Chains A and B, each alone.
Chain A
């Protein structure tokens, strides 16, 4: 398995990481080495097992739908880099 430069760029975009060309190069070869080590997975026979969903033995955790106190808009917005009129403010979403 060898990752092409386009593969790395595609994954970086999916991950919303604006990597530099050098970083892309470097990460590509590191990920290649890690993925080669991960091929060990294929040595384990998993034909008779289901994938793990949860290790704590819990299934479908429900609670009553009752209103309770929340932290409120002011505290929720307190760490926002930019805000306006009780909302998070961001740049243009469409070009």
Chain B
């Protein structure tokens, strides 16, 4: 029997595949077995794609035998995909009843690029319905447990994608981040989560929530793995007119540079009331580590940070109300048949959408409606400009910003039933989306026995620099070696 690679990294698996120490078929078998061992408790998987995975794994083994070292980094490596990313022929629901049974007729670009590298897909992951939420409790199917403590949330909206990496089922997964939906769950589950610059990764084949904010990115156990996945999915795509035609800097090469001489800014507004003392302490220690590695550290100010949440909760619902108009019971998804078309719309959408989705559609429709557009939507788009310009000014003085990802560690399931309390989860991640910047969360220790994340933010299109700072910190701190109890079960390495 092959050695267990559960809990190992992409880079370790890729080396073992090339060294003939394991096959892609064996890796897929181990991932599927570990998934089936733990997922009854975690609840992170929706569709399972075992037959497809074994077929992809067999093809990957042949490709590695043929191409050897030249085979792509992700060839033969198991992966799971957030259920807002379409994969042809595999049920994709966005965790919503309105899309139950939907079989996409095509595959999105980011997923296509993974498949082109020889990726092995073992399933789709649970998330908040249409990626709207910060705890995964808004999934219409079931909540997801945090692998560090199953009674607690894994964060959201990409809670399933975070949990499957934290539980050691797969070495990487894809999620999406509209207001923190990759970085916040990464922070709460002790893994690395990266939101690239807006426009770096094609959104073609991503079920849209808020198109000016959405971005696809990876969850991994190390920053090096993040660089490998980012390299695979980044780059211009003619099928997404908002994807950037500028060249992608080599993110793997950038990791070698270290942080000697790098100027880091610490935004004082990110350490305000609401940030738990244990989170603050872990992040401050991390910043000291970066200083000891040769980075300079200075305090900076982003005065309009406080208005970020309000700005987001106009713009994101406005775009959502428009994007989700397509779910009308005509071309796909749930239809509740009524005598008239209008009644069919009303009943289908009422039956198909959950409470948070309805709340946001209502809020967005209101903000865009005649008489309120200027006061809410136009005003929010102006404040967005102010927030983005404040970042631009700060980046004239510093190379990157460091701060907490989430004000708190993972909280108990059911603890935040008030929508406004839930929205506060993303107060430190939302401004990054509003300004279109790259941001990463990297594990930086524990508070109350639960993981804490350090957020690194860079200027637009300086994704490689963000990875470089995070990698230097990770190498010095070594927190990535920490594994959740579930990742350590049953022969994990």
- Residue contact B341 to A76, C-beta cutoff 8 Å: no
* Binding site secondary structure of chain B: helix
- Residue contact B358 to A23, C-beta cutoff 8 Å: yes
Q: Which residues of A contact B361 (CB under 8 A)?
A: 15, 17
A18-B346, A63-B238, A90-B341 as given contacts; A79 in contact with B331, CB under 8 Å: yes
Which one, B332, B341, B381, contacts A92 given CB within 8 A?
B341
CB-contacts of B365-400 with A (<8 A) = 365-366, 369, 376, 378-386, 388-389
Q: A86 on the interface (CB 8 Å rule)?
A: no
A18-B347, A71-B106, A80-B331 as given contacts; A92 in contact with B419, CB under 8 Å: no
Give 1 or 0 for each of A43-65: 1 = CB within 8 Å of chain B CB.
Answer: 11110011111111110010100
Bound CA–CA A82/B335 (angstroms) = 9
Which one, B103, B331, B380, B420, contacts A88 given CB within 8 A?
B331
- Residue contact A17 to B103, C-beta cutoff 8 Å: no
A16-B346, A50-B385 as given contacts; A11 in contact with B310, CB under 8 Å: no
Q: B150 on the interface (CB 8 Å rule)?
A: no
Which one, A27, A80, A92, contacts B359 given CB within 8 A?
A27
Which one, B325, B346, B435, contacts A55 given CB within 8 A?
B435
Q: B344 on the interface (CB 8 Å rule)?
A: yes
A34-B420, A92-B339 as given contacts; A51 in contact with B382, CB under 8 Å: yes
Bound CA–CA A82/B304 (angstroms) = 50
- Residue contact A30 to B341, C-beta cutoff 8 Å: no
- Residue contact A88 to B379, C-beta cutoff 8 Å: no
- Residue contact A91 to B339, C-beta cutoff 8 Å: yes
Q: Which residues of B contact A35 (CB under 8 A)?
A: 363, 366
- Residue contact B340 to A91, C-beta cutoff 8 Å: yes
CB-contacts of B298-312 with A (<8 A) = 304, 306-307, 309-311
Q: Which residues of A contact B310 (CB under 8 A)?
A: 37-41
Q: Which residues of A contact B199 (CB under 8 A)?
A: 55-56, 58
A49-B382, A55-B460, A56-B242 as given contacts; A18 in contact with B420, CB under 8 Å: no
Most buried by B among A50, A52, A78: A52
Q: Which residues of A contact B244 (CB under 8 A)?
A: 56-58
* Binding site secondary structure of chain A: loop
Bound CA–CA A83/B266 (angstroms) = 58
Which one, B241, B329, B358, B381, contacts A17 given CB within 8 A?
B358
- Residue contact B346 to A17, C-beta cutoff 8 Å: yes
Closest residue on chain A to residue B345 by CB atoms = A16
Bound CA–CA A92/B212 (angstroms) = 36
User: Size range of the interface on B?
Assistant: 35 or more
A17-B362, A18-B347, A38-B310 as given contacts; A79 in contact with B212, CB under 8 Å: no
Closest residue on chain B to residue A46 by CB atoms = B382
- Residue contact A90 to B435, C-beta cutoff 8 Å: no
- Residue contact A31 to B383, C-beta cutoff 8 Å: no
Which one, A38, A50, A52, A91, contacts B341 given CB within 8 A?
A91
Q: Which residues of A contact B260 (CB under 8 A)?
A: none
A16-B325, A18-B349, A78-B103 as given contacts; A91 in contact with B344, CB under 8 Å: yes
Closest residue on chain B to residue A78 by CB atoms = B105
Bound CA–CA A23/B356 (angstroms) = 12
- Residue contact A40 to B307, C-beta cutoff 8 Å: yes
Q: Which residues of A contact B376 (CB under 8 A)?
A: 38, 41
29 A-B Cβ contacts within 8 A?
A11-B365, A16-B345, A16-B346, A17-B349, A17-B362, A31-B366, A33-B420, A34-B363, A34-B420, A37-B313, A38-B310, A44-B382, A46-B379, A49-B386, A49-B389, A50-B385, A53-B381, A55-B199, A55-B435, A58-B199, A58-B241, A61-B242, A71-B105, A76-B331, A81-B329, A81-B335, A90-B330, A91-B339, A95-B340
In the A-B complex, the 7 residue pairs with the smallest Cβ-Cβ separation, listed nearest first, are A18-B346, A55-B436, A51-B381, A56-B199, A81-B335, A46-B382, A79-B332
Binding site for B on A (CB under 8 A): 3, 7-8, 10-12, 14-20, 23, 27, 30-31, 33-35, 37-46, 49-58, 61, 63, 71, 75-76, 78-82, 88, 90-93, 95
Given A17-B346, A33-B420; 15 other pairs, CB 8 A cutoff: A16-B349, A17-B358, A27-B358, A35-B363, A40-B309, A52-B382, A53-B381, A56-B197, A80-B331, A81-B332, A82-B335, A88-B331, A90-B344, A92-B339, A92-B341
